Structure 1
Amino acid sequence: MEVSSVTTKTAANTNESLASLAGMYRDELVNHILPFWLNHSKDEQNGGYFTCLDRYGNVYDTDKFMWLQGRGVWCFSYMYNNVEQKQEWLEMALHGANFMEKYGRDQEGNWYFSLTAEGKPLVQPYNIFSDCFATMAFASLDKASPNDRYKQLAVDTFENILRRRHNWKGIYNKAVPGTRSLKNFSLPMILCNLSLEMEHVIGKERVDSFIPEVIHEVMDVFYQPQLGLILENVNEDGSFADCFEGRVLNPGHAIEAMWFIMDLGKRMNDEALIRKACNIMLDTLEYGWDKEYEGIFYFMDVQGHPTQQLEWDQKLWWVHVEALVALAKGYALTGDERCSQWFLKVHEYTWNHFKDKEYDEWFGYLNRRGEVLLDLKGGKWKGCFHIPRSLYQVWKTLDGLKS
């Protein structure tokens, strides 16, 4: 048998092996994750969603965090648009959107960080990610239930993000200007994905003009070739900052961003960009993998110094499910066997440690050894977003491998 035919057969076997897992991801999404949020998070009295839910779905705190409200609206409208037009999913999205419209913004149009259950402002709009996910929410909802009001909310918020992006904390910024001005990776990363979510609202031409800028920020400014890694913070000129903030690596952020970049590369038919993103993702995963206990570290110092974040060695749900998306897409787009090997390794760790074997939804926080640290299913930071989005993306990507 010729080498080329052996290679072809190996690739076919890998495709078949990975594709066989597609149904597992779909089933978990449709039958175990979305029903959990449908059954437990809706606030029937005040509107919006409760996100602080214990292992069984009981509400343990009633504060409402606007970025999680937006994520919930996006999730249910997205699933309605892309999986099945279930009326209960659309009604769930509209339920959250009505609450957001009524209470979510200040007079300048900035989205608060958190509200009381009744909708009274609790924490000022210091966090632009409330705005990012409000934009995603109303853009997606406009696809599910077309409405000029939703379009306008999405556009107004998107434009506000662009106006604020170079100093997005504004008056809430604690840093003294001019001493150590750092750029943060989170917003350019999200804009890679957000621009595509907005395409049907702002048009392909606007998105196409925006894409090169965000790719440059991610791949040329925050990516440090000498390290082979993407940093969370760099100096204004893109150079390395030797301080706590400048040395920090968040493997999950970098890996998640690389599947956004791969999506952009696919859109642009740019194989070199896809390959570069895939290699950075694999390098980050190799660097961030806990060789002793397995799993991906939350934070690391690229010079090996103690981290500022005391939770640095925890294993978090979103980091692992986003890695699964990146690895699935990396394999589908490049055929790189390293992606398939890593996918199976991360898949096994994730499903064995984060999935609750007795009740719906997954645990979010493990200690370094992979033991459940908090048995909550939702809170201030974990809501209806990373797991359903990732399950959907992996399902569709693996399904596409079927011959």
Structure 2
Amino acid sequence: MKKNRIEELIVIHRDGLLKDTIPFWMKHTIDHEHGGFLNYLDQDGTILNTDKPVWVLGRFTWLMALLYNSVEKRPEWLNTSRHGIEFLEKYCFDTDGRMFFEVTRDGRPLRKRRYIYAETFGVIAFAEYSLAAGDEKKLERAKKLYKLLIRYYQNPELLPPKIYPQTRQVKSHAMPMILLATTQQIRKTGDDPLYEEVIDNSLKEVLEDFMHYDERALFETVGVNGERLDSPEGRCINPGHAIETSWFIMEEGRHRNDKNLIEKGCTILDWSLDWGWDKEYGGILYFVDVEGKPCEQYEHDMKLWWPHNEALYACLLAHYLTGQKKYEDWHEKIHEWAYSHFPDRKNGEWFKYLHRDGTISSTVKGNRWAGPFHLPRMQLYCWKLLEEMKKEI
């Protein structure tokens, strides 16, 4: 990538993060009355619902601590992260040590799911905050929660099953993927043999069970031993999820100086871009059936913000690690489509849900699933990687 383009992209991502995305959320999301953050927001920041999704609380708490640790020691960022930590500690843990999935504005429990996703974001929130605040108690909280979620993952019988295992045994790509990412984050606080064990096992499971070379696809759901399932669920790939996993793997390859891991991550990226890119309208499709049969998900052909965020960073990282121009070309192609369709030029931030042709489907900026995570993470990671690229020219 040429130096002038690197410099242009640095400005786009740095200013997009610091002058657009973060100011939008700092203005609208902080609940000064009850604590925590209000995430259900319309395009202009109007509150649509006061309930609080716990995994989104964890994500924003993590993000603000990360900005404090990696960009600038701004007191408002640390204070905002602390604001999130205090709400999480006070209201978001059940008596069994697990976390609720959603609580009311004043912290009363609403939902608790069989999945342990809220806990993974709780781990990274407490871990990153502990580094920002120098708070050993919060680090111990992160470690305790991490060990709890590993226990539940390694002993699935402790949680209610989604499908009766006596009838059909399946597993989801989401769990080894999120454990890989969560462990990479808590590892920043210090070494532990458990972290490397979990990362190794997560990599093995993704690369051996979910990555199918014969169909050039990373599947979302497979049999318990990696078998391909002949069902809508078994034929489904989620290009955005697979692309996100690809850069988790590439980052692990960079951390270990392991070219084989980097190559595997790039292979997943290649496959997922081929499957996901909409050749008619542009942009990345949400779900794809690898046999071309009808997808089970009604929203399969929509364009969501987060797969494009993940693809922008994955392609930039792949280009940086391999030097291959095809990844620069993909980055530019995705950048052009995403930045011409998602940004809200009037109110700031990005729209989250588009129709297949790129027109707006919903004006929400935040809900139970969408919030300040994928976009600001992409902006921060791209900015910092571009700074490294600039130094090496």
TM-score normalised to the size of structure 1? 0.94
Question: Post-superposition shift, 1:177?
Answer: 2.2
Mapped to 2, the partners of 1:14 and 1:169 lie a distance apart of 53
Aligned match of 1:234: 222
Aligned match of 1:369: 357
Question: Post-superposition shift, 1:273?
Answer: 1.6
Q: Where do 1:340-359 residues align within 5 Å?
A: 340-359=328-347
Question: Post-superposition shift, 1:305?
Answer: 1.1
Asked if the contact 2:152–2:159 (Cα under 8 Å) also holds between the matched residues in 1, the reply is no
Mapped to 1, the partners of 2:38 and 2:157 lie a distance apart of 26
Q: Where do 1:82-121 residues align within 5 Å?
A: 82-121=70-109
Mapped to 1, the partners of 2:190 and 2:97 lie a distance apart of 19
Q: Is 1:386 the equivalent of 2:374?
A: yes
Choose the corresponding residue for 1:267, options 237, 255, 258: 255
Alignment CA distance shift 1:81-1:374 (3 Å): same
Mapped to 1, the partners of 2:353 and 2:40 lie a distance apart of 14
How many corresponding residue pairs?
391
Asked if the contact 1:262–1:273 (Cα under 8 Å) also holds between the matched residues in 2, the reply is yes
Mapped to 2, the partners of 1:182 and 1:320 lie a distance apart of 28
Mapped to 2, the partners of 1:392 and 1:57 lie a distance apart of 22
Asked if the contact 2:315–2:331 (Cα under 8 Å) also holds between the matched residues in 1, the reply is yes
Alignment CA distance shift 1:276-1:200 (3 Å): closer
Aligned match of 1:212: 200
Question: Post-superposition shift, 1:169?
Answer: 8.7
Mapped to 1, the partners of 2:249 and 2:338 lie a distance apart of 23
Q: Where do 1:70-149 residues align within 5 Å?
A: 70-149=58-137
**CA shift digits 1:288-307 (9 cap, x unpaired):** 11010111010111111111
Mapped to 2, the partners of 1:384 and 1:80 lie a distance apart of 16
Aligned match of 2:186: 198
Aligned match of 1:177: 165
Tell me the amino acid that sits aligned with residue 209 of structure 2.
V
**CA shift digits 1:236-261 (9 cap, x unpaired):** 11111111211110000000111100
Question: Post-superposition shift, 1:40?
Answer: 0.5
Mapped to 1, the partners of 2:208 and 2:4 lie a distance apart of 36
Question: Post-superposition shift, 1:105?
Answer: 1.0
Asked if the contact 1:127–1:169 (Cα under 8 Å) also holds between the matched residues in 2, the reply is no
Mapped to 2, the partners of 1:301 and 1:169 lie a distance apart of 30
More deviation, 282-291/135-144: 282-291
**CA shift digits 1:316-368 (9 cap, x unpaired):** 00000110000000000001111000000000111111111111111000000
Mapped to 1, the partners of 2:10 and 2:157 lie a distance apart of 41
Asked if the contact 1:328–1:340 (Cα under 8 Å) also holds between the matched residues in 2, the reply is yes
Aligned match of 2:266: 278
SS at match of 1:297: coil
**CA shift digits 1:174-230 (9 cap, x unpaired):** 422221111100111112211121114451544333322111111111101101110
Q: Is 1:45 the equivalent of 2:66?
A: no
Aligned match of 1:27: 15
Gapped runs of 5+ residues in structure 2? Answer: none
Asked if the contact 1:126–1:170 (Cα under 8 Å) also holds between the matched residues in 2, the reply is no
- C-alpha RMSD of the superposition: 1.5
TM-score normalised to the size of structure 2? 0.96
Aligned match of 1:8: none
Aligned match of 2:234: 246
Mapped to 1, the partners of 2:358 and 2:150 lie a distance apart of 39
Instruction: Give the % identical residues.
Output: 37
